Amino acid sequence: MAEAYVVGLQWVLHYYYDGVVSWSWFYPYHYPPMISDLVRLDQVKIAFEPGAPPTGATGRVLLQTLTCMCARTGMGIFSSFRRTFPAV
């Protein structure tokens, strides 16, 4: 778990400084490790598979964004998406 967490930190740094380093990487746990588990981090091997964004990535990103928006926030979305999500 600690190794995956460190790889995740590296993924985030790559994302903010260089852009998406891997489209397929994900953190496989629900919670971070305990701080006491973060030992021997210099031995962690970090390698990402670049890949390509999923087909239709723009629509999926908008759909993912809509699923975590509250109803009041959704009033500012495009009317075409509002028809798809009538509760918004």
CA distances from 8 to 15, 17, 41, 71, 87 (A): 10, 14, 13, 31, 34
For each of the chain's 88 residues, which pLDDT tens digit applies? 888 888 888 889 888 888 888 877 888 888 888 888 888 777 778 877 777 666 565 556 666 666 666 666 656 666 665 565 555 4
CA distances from 37 to 6, 24, 33, 34 (A): 11, 25, 6, 5
Residue-range domain boundaries for the chain: 1-52, 54-88
CA distances from 76 to 44, 67, 70, 80 (A): 44, 14, 11, 12
